[in-house]
Amino acid sequence: MTSLMGNQSRGETIGYSFSEPTSANVKQHSFYPYTDNGGSTLGITGSDFAILAGDTRSTSGYNINSRMVPKVFRIGGDDETGEGAQVLLSVVGFAADGNALKEKLDTMVKMYKYKHGKPMSVSACAQRLSTILYEKRFFPYYVHAILAGLDEEGVGALYSYDPVGSYEREQCRAAGAASSLIMPFLDNQVNFKNQYIPGSGAGHALEAVKAEPLPKDTVKQLVRDAFTSAVERHIEVGDGLQMMIITKEGIEEVFIPLKQD
C-alpha cells in the first residue's frame, strides 16, 4: 500500500526527467525456470524381463552439451555401483528436474527398505512416484518418467507418467523428443497394431494379429532399431544408446554407440 502511494506521489512532487514507471506494482518475471535438454527414452516389457533405454545426448537449443549424460537410473541400490536395485527409472525433458526426481524417489525407496525391512514392490514404487510428481502439481517436474521392474509374479512391469503424475501400466512406451517417431513403430512392432492375417477374411474384414509378449533378443533389437531410426530424423537424439535390462538375475546395462551428427 505504501509503495503504491509512493509511486503516485513521486512524479508529482519531484520533476524527474526520466519517465515514470507504468503499472506501478505489477512486475513480470522474465526468468523462465525450465529448459528442454532433448533426448528420448523407451521401455518395453516381456514375460520375464523389462527393458528401459535412452540416448545419452544432452542438448540446449542447437548445442550439444555432452554426448554422455545417461537418462536411465537404478533406483534403491548402492549409491556408487547401483547394486541391489530392483527398479529402473528413466527421465527425459528438463534434466535438472529429472535428477531431482530421481534422487527423491531413490531416497524414498531406501527409506521404505530401512523402515519395513523389505524392498519396495514395483507397484508401490509406481504409486509413490505418482505422488511425488503430483506434490508439485503447480510447479511441476518438467519430465516424462518411465518406471520399470518385475511385478510380484516376476512378469515385466512398466509404468509411464506425465509431468504431474498421471500414470498407467503399459507393455511399451516411448517418451521425450522423438516419442512421436518411436511410439507408432512400437504400436506396430510390439502390439502388432494394423497387422492382419493374410487371407483370414473377405476384403478388409481380416483377422488382426494377436499381440503376445516378445522374447528378450527380439525386444533388444527393436530398441536398437527404434533409436537408430530416431537418430536419423531427430536432431536432439543421438551419440549413444544406454539400455538397462532387468530380469530375476539382476540388471544388465549396455552402451551402444549411435551416430554423433
How big is the site for another protein, counted in residues (CB under 8 A)? 33
- Dump the DSSP string for 226-250: HHHHHHHH-TTS-SEEEEEEEETTE
Beta-bridged to residue 156, according to DSSP, are 150
x/- map, 135-154, another protein, by CB under 8 A: ----x---------------
Does residue 16 belong to the site contacting another protein (CB under 8 A)?
no
Candidates 72, 95, 143, 148; binder of another protein (CB under 8 A) is 95
Query: Collapsing DSSP states into helix, strand and coil, what is residue 34?
Result: coil
Tell me how far, at minimum, the Cβ of 228 lies from another protein, in Å. Answer: 19
Does residue 37 belong to the site contacting another protein (CB under 8 A)?
yes
Span interacting with another protein, options 26-34, 150-158, 206-214, 230-238, rule CB under 8 A = 26-34
Nearest to 27 by CA among 7, 41, 10: 7
Does residue 68 belong to the site contacting another protein (CB under 8 A)?
yes
Candidates 33, 154, 201, 250; binder of another protein (CB under 8 A) is 33
- Considering the complex, state which of residue 182 and residue 236 has its C-beta at the smaller distance from another protein: 236
x/- map, 148-187, another protein, by CB under 8 A: ----------------------------------------
> What CA–CA distances, in Å, run from 75 to 35, 65, 70?
25, 25, 14
Q: Are 39 and 65 in contact (CB under 8 A)?
A: no
Cβ partners under 8 Å of residue 259, min gap 6: 228, 231, 232, 238, 239
Q: For residue 254, which amino acid is it?
A: V
Q: Within 10 Å of residue 236's Cβ, how many Cβ atoms?
A: 22
Q: Within 10 Å of residue 161's Cβ, how many Cβ atoms?
A: 26
Tell me how far, at minimum, the Cβ of 159 lies from another protein, in Å. Answer: 25
Q: Which three cell numbers stand for residue 63?
A: 548445442
How far apart, in whole angstroms, are the C-alpha atoms of residue 46 and residue 155?
Answer: 7
- Considering the complex, state which of residue 58 and residue 179 has its C-beta at the smaller distance from another protein: 58
Tell me how far, at minimum, the Cβ of 48 lies from another protein, in Å. Answer: 35
- The residues of the shown chain that bind another protein, judged by CB under 8 A, are 2-3, 6-7, 9-10, 13-14, 25, 27-31, 33-35, 37, 58, 60, 63, 65-69, 94-96, 99-100, 139, 260
